[in-house]
Structure 1
Amino acid sequence: MDTALGPPEKMVERREDLTPMMAQYYDLCAQYDDSLVLFQVGDFYEAFCGAAETVARQCEVTLTKREDSTGQYAMAGLPIDNAESYVERLLEAGYRVAVADQVEDPEETTGVVERAVTRILTPGTLTEDELLDGDRNNYVGALATGDVHALAVLDVSTGDFYATSVENADGIRDELGRFDPTEAILGPNVAATQLPDGCTVSSFGEDPFEEKQAHELVESYVGSVEGLLASTAEIRACGALLSYAEYVRGGVDDRLDYLNHLTRYDPHEYMLLDAVAVRSLELFERRTVHGDESNTLAAVLDKTASAPGRRTLDDWLRRPLIEREAIVERHDAVGELRDSVSMREGIYDQLRTVYDIERLISRIARGRANARDLRSLKATLDVVPRIRQELAESSCGKLNSLRDELDTLDEVRTLIEQSVCDNPDKEITTGGIIKPSYNDDLARLRETEQDGKSWIDDLEASERERTGIDSLKVGQNSVHGYYIEVTDTNLDSVPDDYERRQTLKNAERYYTPELKEREGEILRAEQRADELEYELFCSVRTEVADESERIQAVADSLAELDVLVSFATVAAEHDYTRPVVGTAPSDSPAEGTLTVDGIHIENGRHPVVERTEESFVPNGTMLDSDDQIAVVTGPNMSGKSTYMRQVALIVILAQAGSFVPAESARLQIVDRLFTRVGASDDIAGGRSTFMMEMTELADILDHATDQSLVLLDEVGRGTSTVDGFAIAQAVTEQMHDEIGALTLFATHHHDLTGIAESLDNAHNRYFRTQQDEDGVSFEHAVERGTADASYGVEVAATAGVNQSVVDRAREVLDEQAGRAETEPSEHHGTAGRTSLNGHSGSTTTEPKQQPLHGADDEEPTDDGNGKRLNADLQQALIEADIATMTPLEAMNKLANLQQVVETNRRNTDPNPSNSS
């Protein structure tokens, strides 16, 4: 066990001998043995023994010692006023932190002050603003398995609560990619390998996943689950997650009554973007060493005015729609807001003044809100009538619907306005938070208090006049209360009714019976008024919390409106156009439904790159049933990857409800978007870059449909040229013949262009490049046809590679070109083309074909009627142990056999010019 967790070993043997405070600490450590306990002692949170060493090391604070009658203990403390910054370090280091607060007033307690764990801080259940990213949801997930695989996710700080289920573990991994939880709990038989990188696995036991217990807990929050949740696995996941959310409250008022709405969704209601696609398309984070959110799709679209709006934008990009009617509704709203500048700017100006209403109501419902939070809520709700007015002239169905959903909550606003002070104190137990006019008893108490203080204010002047002592002062302190102070030089003039209260170095302090009586009245009125204010505040807070569901509905509508305004602003400022979206013809749409065959984009632009490049070259795209696959060639730096990502981002934007950066766009609704773009590895998991590439490729081949969009970039580059080309060809043929997905395939296997020409529904596209004595210039324009070279050496020179290395590389290329001239070669119609190294020369050589049976076997030849070839093929297939082959080995084997047949066909074809 980690020495920071569990009861300190030094104390285990002598629990009964410990001082009362240390025994309390020991018991809390034993009760929360999976957490690092921070124990309040005055103004600090303290940790002892091994926990102290951990805190000192992780938080970089001084390690000290505590000594009492039972021994000496290591100790480290964190100031309570600045505890959040230190807690964040502990969470990042993987610790779960249990905060043990003093739950008694030390001034009113005899003996040791009682302490209790009031909250457990974990990465996925944070509610403290200081520890949260206001622009992002912070989800904790629960996974359960049964007949299906179920996922539940919850943002404890906002109340967002979702559940779904899929048939297999791969599907759950994809759904986790949508939400990117920071923490998860796992039910029985669920493997942690399903979780995304950076997600903390927290132990919570199996009992909370038990069906009956989970069922009862879920229904206590959201009512009957009949017709809401689709499987017992979903019920178990939701119940365990709610139980965990209650657990981290530390057992103090652990109900989360604001969690009253659970959304169950079907994964097929949204375009699937798995974690690989989200990462490679840089939707939220750039693929750099340190990461960067400034040049991402989310960043360039973010013109939102509020934190809920920014979180909703994130959600819409993670879950693009696939229902045409819902997409068109959003486009209608964006179009009207783009065209109506006054409406758009008026709504934005109002939204700028709102607070984070989702997290406000969460704090209010959890009893952690102060009076300032209630005033912030009231200020936010005051915006609603003004936004409704801005939308009064709207003719769009979506905007009219949002306007009708914006509940003005007049009674809540009136309650807060009448009860809570305009500028309340931050503390809620010391008065100054409730208006005296709100309660008659409070008004009388404050009047009594004020009358007494006014009498005291007048006392100094009256006593100076009565005693003739001009230096006489009336004051007050927390120890001795009110007093009359007279210097030693004037003691002879002190009246007989003065009673000594305190002696100072050069003065005496007195009180009179009347002053003491007034003091008692003031203190009693003040104390009772402060207590009454706290009681009244708690009552008001509870009344507001009772309207949590209505307030959350308003928050949802405001956030949705915020994103639509953001989309419209981006469209207006950056010349985005409305896309035409339709159902794929193969989807058997209902009569009257608009259908669109494929993806047709005119002068499309990359929404991120165009913001960073001084001159961005737009490019068109045409993928449909006749041109299903585009093999894209061109040198490095020519723009292939940017172009492919550009197409994917335009599709995502359109289905999220945004206009798109293009002159025009007609888009088939895509069910899934797959990417095999860029290099990555998993060294810790024992997977090389090539293995990661093949794993991603296998997922695409297993799950892509004829309504999917697939981006493939340099498939097969992590292995030998022969193997890489074989894989690339097999994948292209599989996409064309079996899957039918719209596919962009960027490659440096220029021989693949010959394959594209031989397939009915494939075509070649390439990026124009110019080369002269000054080097290579990239035009970044794509058109039909094939590239004549890769210009790898020229790109290396442009990148600043040492000139001697560049020169030697050119010599090697010239040597290879010379050898190629002496070796006859026919390969996929490449005869007569410029060689792939970028220099003029003869054709490229054909990759050496491996024999069918083994290294010592002769390559089969035709005996005049093909019998020997057929026999060898049959034997090779018989000997292939398909049951034990990996998918990659199977593809290589198939490619090998195909190439043998093709070689034989060319060798026996009486008209070689027919070869293609």
Structure 2
Amino acid sequence: MLSLTPMMKQYLEIKEKYRDSILFFRLGDFYEMFFEDAITASKELEIALTGRDCGQKEKAPMCGIPFHSADTYIAKLIEKGYKVAICEQVEDPSKAVGLVKRDVVRVITPGTVIDPNMLDEKKNNYLCCIFLDEKGYGLAYVDVSTGDFFTTEGILENVDIIDALFDELGKIMPTEIICNNFFYDNEIISSKIRQRFECMINTYHEWTFDLGFAEESIKRQLSVISLDGLGMRDKNYSVIASGALIEYLRETQKTSFYHINKINQYSSNNYMVLDVNTRRNLELTETIRGKTKKGSLLWVLDKTSTAMGGRLLKKWIEEPLLDKKSIEYRLSTVEYFVDNLILINDLRSLLKDVYDIERLMSKVIYGTCNARDLIALKNSIKVFPQIKTFLKDTGCEELIDISYKLDGLEDIYDLIDKSIVDDPPFSVREGGIIKKEYNFEIKSLREASVQGKEWLSKIEEQERIKTGIKNLKIGFNKVFGYFIEVSKGNIKFVPDYFIRKQTLANSERYITPELKEMEDKILGAEDKMVALEYQVFVNIRDSIAAEVKRIQDSGKIIAKVDVLNSLALSALNNNYIKPKINTNGFINIKEGKHPVVEKVLEEGLFVPNDTYLNNDESRVLVITGPNMAGKSTYMRQVALIVLMMQIGSFVPAEEADICIVDRIFTRIGASDDLSQGQSTFMVEMSEVANILNNATQNSLLILDEIGRGTSTYDGLSIAWAVIEYISNPKKIGAKTLFATHYHELTELENKLEGVLNYKILVQEKGEDIIFLRKIKKGGADRSYGIEVAKLAGVRGDVINRAYEILQDLEKRDESKPEIAISVSEKEIKENIHKSNNDLQLDLFNIKKSNLIEKIKDIDVEKLTPIDAINILYNLHEESKEI
């Protein structure tokens, strides 16, 4: 067997260290891939698979891509969930002895992408680290492209660990997760996360999840001697997750990433908690169908002018505030903008010139920026002083405070303005990027180069005169340098001192000693100039990188101004009003509208509705009415109006006085989760269980069609019991909108304190109905299901047959005793089908028993079946003890 070639040995040694990545191995102007990597890449990238001699009997599978277009191919692989290790030459080939040294300079993963062309400019790209043990979890996540780093934790005694983790992951939607073995080995958790969030998830070195190591990792990154000042004292789970995440970045990025210079430690108590189902059901940032921004709340509110503002607005929507003072601060600022349309337009005009400073600075830190990026940074900074002045001159306390915090960065602007040409080339290694006035040596070399080229023009003219060859010209290429080109027909006029250099089909190329001497001077000057320009550029880039914290802070302030301005513009465009905030626990909305549905309907078609909820007599609204009448839209609009208030936005209503809610829960619609072995009904009940276990009196609950996934009596029993539990102040007592087709639930208004009936109005015209979309007090007596089916286009003969069956069922129902509903055990359930007399007889028998004292004041003759069943159940429970 032949030995491997030196190059292939080098490749395999490097590949061994990066077995989980596709290795892009730099050979000349190409990145080459070999063996399994080549087979995978050729398939995924749809490029030709060839072979290369590797010193073995059979050739190694090989494919390659041009290095100058690598970004496009890398993006495709990352999108498909692969890691890519970039292997470059790490020494000058001209100085290398033997094989040029190569090594991996960066590993690109879904969570470590920084190239703006591979990212959605208005979305963060989060890399997440999870540490889990029996007592709690730590969660840390970072957007490497902006430098934003966050961490939180949950302790078992305080939270349901898995639910809390899912809530956080649903908010950040990571593209990549690294974790410890304990987390990964829990197949139920890891597989559920992988399927729900469709992201890469892998374990990381177990030793990085050591508390001592993690502390040192953080200290080294942030250049601090203690974690106390970071708000992370006694936050061991956060420390472990953060330290491991930083180490992962060190291992993959292979460079300093000091744009990550702050860790934001937070608690879920700082923001309204929104679980994954609620975010999806309310369509906060994307639609349920299509996963598009259009049709979401973000789509309605996003009038931002910058990418940074777009990302911040999305974050605000995902993290509604709980602090009344902070909400009022945002609302007051938005109100000032709303009252000053000229200021809105002036700021929008300036903000449109601001590029994505956060991601520009990441490229500066990584050393991948070019001169055009610095010009983009300069043009962005140019408007900062004007924005400061506008804000300061408003007289608005909140905006004046922002103006003081905004650094104008005039020194950064001046540095770039004095050094970089206004329209630089794309490459930083070909010269022409530094202004000649900025550096005397560059100026001298450029003048020498220019003078040399002027001399060449004179030589060309002189040689034409001397030889009489009118089409003689001086040209240049990288292979032969400068040359004199003469057409075939004029070769007889070529003088003796022309030295033939190259023969072409239609011409000959020559050099002269004089031309060669000038070439050395010109090219020598140009080579020195290009090398010097690049070095000067690197120095400028490093000077800007040293100010990364100042530039990042200014970028965040600009983003904040952009978001506040956007919310004001949305309020003006949509006639929103400023909501009031109360601390008395009630929600009072007059003429409320759904912000998205109103937007997609023709003007004037949306029917607004009022809402009143409190902690007393109006805790639970049981809403009845036909499908498609607007129950779901109405309930969602209430949730969205509350959420909009808590992000600091004006709301779609005539009046709104709203209390702060700690959580919004939604249970809307139904779908199977077959991958997890869960039916529609199981999914529904899982979501209901989550709500009952986590809702508080300060929560807002949106429940639609609870119990519809099973048989009528089971479903009705569950819905009944859920309302009883939610409405009970000793259990939950939360403000709730409960839509149902179980008209029996309207009885609860007279049985449970705090439960009221509301219905969606419809107008009947013969066998047809018209949806009025208006909600008013009272309960509906039927669901109009067949009429809705008719509107949906179900065949006429099926509709007619349905009416016949309905009439037959109603006649049968009239001939049978009323059915009672109960959630009792088997003994009591056997009584459900008894007649009134049987139930009353049971109660008479009980009166004769030892339990007579319990029911001595009950008038059995006046009891309804449901009352009788409930009493029987309670007595049954007490009899167990007796």
SS across alignment from 1:739: coil
Alignment partners' CA distance in 2, 1:899 and 1:668: 40
Alignment partners' CA distance in 2, 1:664 and 1:34: 58
Q: Could you tell which deviates more after superposition, 19-28 or 520-529?
A: 19-28
2:541 is matched with: 541
Q: 1:50 aligns with which of 32, 36, 39?
A: 36
Alignment partners' CA distance in 1, 2:805 and 2:43: 56
CA contact (8 A) 2:717 2:822 kept: no
Aligned ranges 1:342-357 → 2 under 5 Å? 342-357=342-357
Q: 1:225 aligns with which of 224, 227, 232?
A: 227
**AA aligned opposite 2:17:** Q
CA contact (8 A) 1:257 1:366 kept: no
SS across alignment from 2:675: coil
Alignment partners' CA distance in 1, 2:329 and 2:26: 54
Q: Could you tell which deviates more after superposition, 162-171 or 661-670?
A: 162-171
TM-score (norm 1): 0.87
Unaligned residue ranges in structure 2 (runs of 5+):
855-864, 876-882
Residue 662 (structure 2) pairs with residue 693 (structure 1): no
CA contact (8 A) 2:7 2:99 kept: yes
- 1:415-467 Cα shifts (integer Å, max 9, x gaps): 01111111111111111111121111111111111111111111111233344
Q: 1:132 aligns with which of 119, 137, 140?
A: 119
CA contact (8 A) 1:851 1:857 kept: no
Alignment partners' CA distance in 2, 1:299 and 1:42: 46
1:681 is matched with: 672
2:878 is matched with: none
**AA aligned opposite 2:740:** T
SS across alignment from 1:38: strand
Mark the CA change 1:503 to 1:282 in structure 2 (over 3 Å): closer, same or farther: closer
CA contact (8 A) 1:704 1:739 kept: yes
Residue 654 (structure 2) pairs with residue 654 (structure 1): no
Residue 701 (structure 2) pairs with residue 710 (structure 1): yes
Residue 601 (structure 2) pairs with residue 579 (structure 1): no
1:732 is matched with: 723
2:444 is matched with: 444
CA contact (8 A) 1:431 1:529 kept: yes
CA contact (8 A) 2:52 2:61 kept: yes
Residue 283 (structure 2) pairs with residue 282 (structure 1): yes
Alignment partners' CA distance in 2, 1:212 and 1:255: 22
Aligned ranges 1:221-300 → 2 under 5 Å? 221-222=221-222, 223=224, 224-227=226-229, 228-230=231-233, 231-249=235-253, 251=254, 254-288=255-289, 290-300=290-300
Alignment partners' CA distance in 2, 1:659 and 1:722: 44
1:32 is matched with: 18
CA contact (8 A) 1:579 1:665 kept: yes
Shift of the alpha carbon at 1:376?
Answer: 0.4
Shift of the alpha carbon at 1:547?
Answer: 0.7
Residue 827 (structure 2) pairs with residue 852 (structure 1): yes
- 1:486-524 Cα shifts (integer Å, max 9, x gaps): 456666655555444445566554433332222111111
Residue 608 (structure 2) pairs with residue 618 (structure 1): yes
SS across alignment from 1:94: coil
- 1:855-891 Cα shifts (integer Å, max 9, x gaps): 79998823444466969x9xxxxxxxxxxxxxxxxxx
Aligned ranges 1:156-555 → 2 under 5 Å? 156-167=144-155, 168=159, 169=161, 170-190=163-183, 191=186, 192-193=189-190, 195=193, 196-222=196-222, 223=224, 224-227=226-229, 228-230=231-233, 231-249=235-253, 251=254, 254-288=255-289, 290-486=290-486, 494-495=494-495, 497-504=497-504, 508-555=508-555
Mark the CA change 1:490 to 1:173 in structure 2 (over 3 Å): closer, same or farther: closer
**AA aligned opposite 1:238:** S
Mark the CA change 1:818 to 1:390 in structure 2 (over 3 Å): closer, same or farther: same
Residue 766 (structure 2) pairs with residue 766 (structure 1): no
Alignment partners' CA distance in 2, 1:717 and 1:90: 44
Alignment partners' CA distance in 2, 1:754 and 1:856: 20
**AA aligned opposite 2:590:** E
Mark the CA change 1:759 to 1:847 in structure 2 (over 3 Å): closer, same or farther: closer
Shift of the alpha carbon at 1:148?
Answer: 3.6
- 1:397-420 Cα shifts (integer Å, max 9, x gaps): 222122112111111110011111
1:567 is matched with: 567
1:60 is matched with: 46
Alignment partners' CA distance in 1, 2:851 and 2:672: 41
**AA aligned opposite 2:562:** D
**AA aligned opposite 2:326:** A
Q: How many equivalent residue pairs?
A: 835
Shift of the alpha carbon at 1:164?
Answer: 1.1
Unaligned residue ranges in structure 1 (runs of 5+):
1-13, 583-594, 828-845, 874-895, 907-916
SS across alignment from 1:202: strand
**AA aligned opposite 2:142:** L
**AA aligned opposite 1:575:** N
Alignment partners' CA distance in 2, 1:869 and 1:341: 78
Alignment partners' CA distance in 2, 1:427 and 1:847: 77
- 1:832-856 Cα shifts (integer Å, max 9, x gaps): xxxxxxxxxxxxxx68987417879
Alignment partners' CA distance in 1, 2:34 and 2:874: 80
CA contact (8 A) 1:48 1:76 kept: yes
2:858 is matched with: none
Shift of the alpha carbon at 1:20?
Answer: 2.5
Alignment partners' CA distance in 2, 1:313 and 1:88: 26
Shift of the alpha carbon at 1:72?
Answer: 2.0
Mark the CA change 1:790 to 1:857 in structure 2 (over 3 Å): closer, same or farther: closer
**What root-mean-square deviation, in Å, do the aligned CA atoms of Structure 1 and Structure 2 show?**
2.7
CA contact (8 A) 1:149 1:233 kept: yes
Percent identity of equivalent pairs? 41
Aligned ranges 1:721-760 → 2 under 5 Å? 721-737=712-728, 738-760=731-753
Alignment partners' CA distance in 2, 1:657 and 1:229: 28
CA contact (8 A) 1:187 1:237 kept: no
Alignment partners' CA distance in 2, 1:121 and 1:88: 10
CA contact (8 A) 1:184 1:199 kept: yes
Mark the CA change 1:164 to 1:506 in structure 2 (over 3 Å): closer, same or farther: closer
Mark the CA change 1:292 to 1:708 in structure 2 (over 3 Å): closer, same or farther: same
Alignment partners' CA distance in 2, 1:850 and 1:818: 31
**AA aligned opposite 1:214:** A
Q: Could you tell which deviates more after superposition, 76-85 or 184-193?
A: 76-85
Alignment partners' CA distance in 1, 2:89 and 2:866: 76
2:861 is matched with: none
1:782 is matched with: 775
CA contact (8 A) 2:338 2:571 kept: yes
SS across alignment from 1:567: helix
1:587 is matched with: none
Shift of the alpha carbon at 1:39?
Answer: 2.6
**AA aligned opposite 1:165:** E
- 1:704-727 Cα shifts (integer Å, max 9, x gaps): 111111111111111111111111
Residue 2 (structure 2) pairs with residue 22 (structure 1): no
CA contact (8 A) 1:150 1:172 kept: no
Mark the CA change 1:102 to 1:130 in structure 2 (over 3 Å): closer, same or farther: farther
Mark the CA change 1:808 to 1:161 in structure 2 (over 3 Å): closer, same or farther: same
- 1:647-698 Cα shifts (integer Å, max 9, x gaps): 0000111010100000010000111111111112321111112111111111
- 1:120-177 Cα shifts (integer Å, max 9, x gaps): 2222221122221111001011112465422111000111111111224122221222
2:626 is matched with: 635
Shift of the alpha carbon at 1:605?
Answer: 0.2
Alignment partners' CA distance in 2, 1:905 and 1:493: 122
**AA aligned opposite 1:29:** K
